[in-house]
Structures are given as structure tokens and as C-alpha cells.
Amino acid sequence: MAARIMVVDDEPDLELLIRQKFRKKIRSKEFDFVFANSGVEAIEKIKNDGEIDVVLTDINMPEMDGLTLLDELGEMNLMLKAVIVSAYGDMENIRTAMNRGAFDFVTKPIDLNDLETTINKSLQELQTLKEAVRSRDKLVAIQSELDIATKIQMSLLPQTFPAFPDRKEVDVFAKMTAAREVGGDLYDFFSIDKHRIGFTIGDVSGKGVPAAMLMAISKTSLRAKAMEGVSADACLTALNNNLVENSLPEMFVTIFYGVLDTRNGSLEYCNGGHNLPYLLSHDGQVEELENVGGLFVGFRKDEEYECKTVVLEPGDAIFLNTDGVTEAFDSNDEMFGDARLGACLRRVGNLSLEEIVAAVNTEVQLFSKDVPQADDIACLALRYNG
């Protein structure tokens, strides 16, 4: 497509000189010239055209001079480059023109070779600007899609609390903060039947949209199997085989799944390579659950998993987190770590579940306040009330 160049000058001979100088580029449709005798005529033609790339304008013209034309072009907010033509030594007007948005200038009498160089330079700069705008527009579109993806992902995670308003024997609270617009951490909780509550937390390898997609698949697949009422280890076995068959080989999920029987506080669980949950006893003791389960899921088909059962006393709570908590770093490259998390839980273990989760998140944020969040952070707390 030919570059459209508008020449604004009240000298009638200039059009002939321009057409003669650039006749080859005009014939090859590399350049297409439009001429106007004044700023007023130029504005009218630009409004009707809309595809002018370069405006070459004299400063001294009747009706509307070149400096006023620059002001008008600035208000129109067009994507074009303006080149001023002025008498040699008229530095004051040239400086004024540059301050009003002119990209470059040429002096009279016009050196047509210099003019060609100036036009080419202006077009190259305009092309760079257009490419930058296209890139910006693409980024805006991507950001819009990511915002939608974030809303979709968050809608997949339960966020209504209290989670089980009609079941006073159990309480649950959870929160996830993504490091990017979308993330790979997951949590879930649901009623299996009138006596059993299933709950899980997990962390997908990687970040961004691929991790978010695998998170959604993992959450849906685990819940579907759990609703069959099978054991915790059977759930992770089924999830593992499903992910091996249906996800990328380099991606995997660390995951913990537990089932609480609200009749007696019996907690059956299986850990698939995830951070160990903490048992917050009603008497203030804090300890990790025994690591029973197997390898993270999605790595190798037919991996064997085991489960274990512990009994919670009324008032006992379970706190689960992803490694975005313990692997948060401060400005000295020191990791938050399990010891800090355990100490925090000992201080706040008797508070409400929402307060416990908030306290952990706040402590992590304060610890790494000078460092951008590098990993997703998810926390889930469950308390058996008896």
C-alpha cells in the first residue's frame, strides 16, 4: 500500500517539482501525494481522507499557517508525522514547530534529495509507532482475556462462607491469591453424603493459563471420583491415571485429599507429594500430619497410593497450604519456611478459621514485602466442632 504524503504549500510550482522528483515512486505506488494550498484545505482533506501518513507543510501560508496547522493536527490525535518547511535560519519558528509536535524539518530552498531522506525517515518512524500500537492493542486484548480467565478460574474455587451453614459440626475457610492473572493452585471442599466432607488442596507445576487449565481438570476429576464415596487413596489413584493420559508429560500436580466423618471426627487422608498439613489441636499443640500417600499425580501411570486415618477431637483444626507460603522469599533471598509457618500457627491456632488464614497471608506478605509474589498462595483451614 502506497504511503500517503500530504504537501501543504501555497507555491504552485512545488507540486510540479514533487511529482517530477518522485515520479518513479508514484508510478510504482510506493508514494501517493496529496496537495493542499493552505492549512484550512489540508484539515478538510485530512478529515475526508483519514489515511495520511506524512504532512509536509510550509510555515508561512494564508488562511492558516503551518504552526496553527500543527496545533489542529495535535487536537485531531492522528497517527501521522509532520515535517515543517521553513526558511534557512528561521530557528525560532522551527523550534516552535518542533515543540508543537513536528517530527522533523527541511529548509528552503528545498533540497529534494534531503526531502526524500526526511520523508523516508518519517515513514520509518511512523511504521515503528504503528507496530508499537499494534503490540499494545494485542497486549490489551490478551489482558482482557486473562481478566476473563481469572474470573472463570476463581469461579471454580468455592468462595461462599460459611461453607456448610446447615452443618454445625464442621467449618471450612479457604483463600487463593494467584501470582499472575491466573494460577495453578487449587482447593475444594464438598459434601460426599450427610456424614462425610471431602476437602483438597493442590499445586500444579508451572504458572499461567496452562497451569490454570490443569488445575480445573484436576479439581473436577478428583471431585467426580470422590462423590462415588471411594477411599482417599482410590481418588488419588484415579486422578493420577487420568492426568497421565490427558495432560502434558512435563506437567504434574501435588495434592492432598482428606475425608472427614463428622459423626466421630475420623479423618481419612492421602497425600500426593504435597506440603504436609498441620493439625491444630484444641489444646494449642501444632504438628504436621504423618506423610502417607505417594508420588505427586500425573507423572507415572498406575502409581500406588496409601491412606491413613486419624481422629480429630472437637475443636481440632487442619491447616493446609501450597508452597507459595513456605517458599516466599524476602529481599535477602531468605525463605519463609516451615518453621515460621509453624510458629505463626501456634500463635493463632485458636482463632477463627478466617482469622488463621488471614494471619498466615499477612505474615507472608510482611516477610516478602519488598519482593514481588513469585508463586500462587492457597490456604485452607477446616475445624471439627464435634
Q: Scanning the structure block, which residue is given the C-alpha cell 459440626?
A: 169
Distance CA 11, CA 56 (A): 13
Which strands form 286-288's sheet, in the order they lie side by side?
170-177, 377-384, 317-321, 278-280, 286-288
Where residue 136 falls among pLDDT bands split at 50, 70, 90? confident
Cβ–Cβ < 8 Å for 256, 320: yes
Containing 187, the helix (H) or strand (E) segment is strand 185-191
- The candidate with the shortest Cα–Cα distance to 370, out of 314, 342, 332, 318, is 332
For residues 111 and 154, membership in a common domain is answered with no
In this structure, are 261 and 229 located in the same domain? yes
Residue where a domain terminates, one of 111, 134, 157: 134
* pLDDT value of residue 152: 67
* C-alpha 243: how far from chain center: 25
Q: Which of 92-106, 109-123, 174-188, 372-386 has the lowest mean pLDDT?
A: 174-188
DSSP letter assigned to residue 276: P
83, 102, 134 - which closes a domain: 134
Q: In the chain, how many domains are there?
A: 2
How far apart (Å, rounded) are the C-alpha atoms in residues 298 and 277? 21
Written as nine digits, the cell of 41 is 484545505
Burial of 135 (0-12, 13-18, 19+ CB in 10 A): exposed
Q: Tell me, what's the pLDDT at 181?
A: 56
What pLDDT is recorded for position 135? 85
Q: Which domain holds residue 39?
A: 3-134
Q: Classify the phi-psi angles of 374: left when phi > 0, otherwise alpha if psi is within -120 to 50, otherwise beta.
A: alpha
pLDDT at position 165, please?
Answer: 93
The answer as to whether 142 is a domain residue is no
Shared domain for 76 and 177, answered yes or no, is: no
Mean pLDDT for the chain overall: 90
Task: Write the CATH number for 268.
Answer: 3.60.40.10
Determine the Cα–Cα distance for residues 310 and 37; give it in Å rounded to an integer. Answer: 91
User: Does residue 156 sit in the same domain as residue 129?
Assistant: no
Residue 31, pLDDT > 90, answer yes
Q: Which among 2, 206, 42, 178 is positioned nearest to 187, based on CA atoms?
A: 178
Confidence of residue 142 (pLDDT cuts 50, 70, 90): low
Q: What is the pLDDT of residue 341?
A: 96
- Per residue in 244-274, pLDDT (tens digit) is 988 777 789 999 999 999 999 999 999 999 9
Phi, psi of 37 (to 5 degrees): -90, -10
Residue 222 lies in a domain: yes
Is 268 in the same domain as 380?
yes
The pLDDT of residue 183: 66
Confidence of residue 347 (pLDDT cuts 50, 70, 90): very high
Q: Are residues 234 and 100 in the same domain?
A: no
Whether residues 105 and 168 share a domain: the answer is no
What is the pLDDT, as a whole number, of residue 375?
83
Burial of 131 (0-12, 13-18, 19+ CB in 10 A): exposed
**Does position 60 have pLDDT exceeding 70, yes or no?**
yes
Q: Is residue 196 part of a domain?
A: yes
- pLDDT at site 146: 65
Q: For position 148, what pLDDT does the model report?
A: 67
> 195 with 257, same domain?
yes
Does residue 52 sit in the same domain as residue 181? no
Residue 96 in any domain: the answer is yes
Same domain, 244 and 310: yes
The mean pLDDT value for 43-69 works out to 89
139 within a domain of the structure (yes/no): no
Note the pLDDT tens digit of each residue in 192-229.
999 999 999 999 887 777 777 888 889 999 999 999 99
For residues 88-108, average pLDDT: 87
Angle (deg, nearest 10), helices 39-49 and 66-76:
20
204 assigned to some structural domain: yes
CA distances, 188 to each of 143, 239, 242, 324, 386 (Å):
27, 15, 18, 17, 22
Query: What's the alpha-carbon Rg for the chain, to the nearest Å?
Result: 34
Percent of the residues in the chain that have a pLDDT greater than 90, as a whole number: 64
Quick check: is 90 in a domain? yes
Residues 218, 363 within the same domain: yes
Residue 141: inside a domain, yes or no? Answer: no
User: Is the model's pLDDT at 337 over the cut of 70?
Assistant: yes
CATH number of the CATH domain containing 38 = 3.40.50.2300
**Rounded-to-integer distance, Cα 362 and Cα 125, Å:** 48
Last residue of a domain, one of 134, 163, 192: 134
Share of the chain above pLDDT 70, in %: 95
C-alpha cell of 251? 506437567
In this prediction, residue 159 carries a pLDDT of 87
Q: Do 176 and 294 lie in a common domain? A: yes
Q: What is the pLDDT of residue 150?
A: 66
Dmax (CA) for the chain in angstroms is 100
